């Protein structure tokens, strides 16, 4: 007796069984298409126009506090220079408020940068 078998005699090599296995794969793929379609589709929700208008009319504010540990005259000079810069080009400084504090207010100001 030969140790090798004839492949046509194996039970899973029968034409009817092989066709039914291949058909089962295609049926599973075909039946899973609606689930795949619903889980991968993007739902387009409408935007509320009132919320959009509210966001466009909102002004962006960026408060900046500079803490200078020097004499009061230097703090006043820096404040004047910043005010002059803001008056020369107001569009560049729109929405930015710069506050310069001196040595006495450095520790008490909540957003002071050292």
Burial per residue of 6-19, b for 16 or more beta-carbon CB atoms within 10 angstroms, e otherwise: eeeeeeeeeeeeee
Q: Which domain holds residue 16?
A: 10-40
| 112 occurs within a structural domain | no
- Cross-strand bridge partners of residue 41: none
Helices (H), 1-114: 15-40, 49-56, 72-88
Does residue 1 belong to any structural domain of this protein?
no
pLDDT digits (tens, 9 = 90+) for 49-93: 888 888 777 777 888 888 887 777 888 888 888 888 888 887 888
Residue 31 lies in a domain: yes
Tell whether 80 is covered by a domain.
yes
Number of domains in the chain: 2
pTM of the model: 0.41
Q: Is the confidence at residue 103, as pLDDT, over 80?
A: no
Query: Does 52 fall in a domain?
Result: no
Q: What is the mean pLDDT of the chain?
A: 80
Is 66 in the same domain as 34?
no
In a domain, 51, yes or no: no
Residue 47: inside a domain, yes or no? no
Rounded to whole angstroms, how far apart are CA atoms 105 and 73? 14
């Amino acid at each position: 007796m030969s140790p090798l078998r004839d492949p046509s005699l194996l039970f899973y090599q029968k034409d009817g069984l092989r066709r039914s296995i291949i058909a089962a794969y295609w049926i599973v793929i075909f039946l899973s298409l609606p689930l795949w379609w619903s889980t991968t589709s993007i739902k387009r929700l409408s935007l509320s126009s009132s919320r959009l208008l509210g966001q466009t009319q909102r002004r962006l504010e960026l408060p900046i506090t500079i803490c200078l540990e020097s004499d009061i005259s230097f703090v006043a000079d820096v404040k004047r220079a910043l005010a002059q810069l803001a008056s020369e080009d107001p569009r560049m400084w729109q929405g930015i408020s710069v506050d310069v504090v001196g040595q006495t207010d450095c520790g008490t100001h909540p957003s002071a940068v050292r």
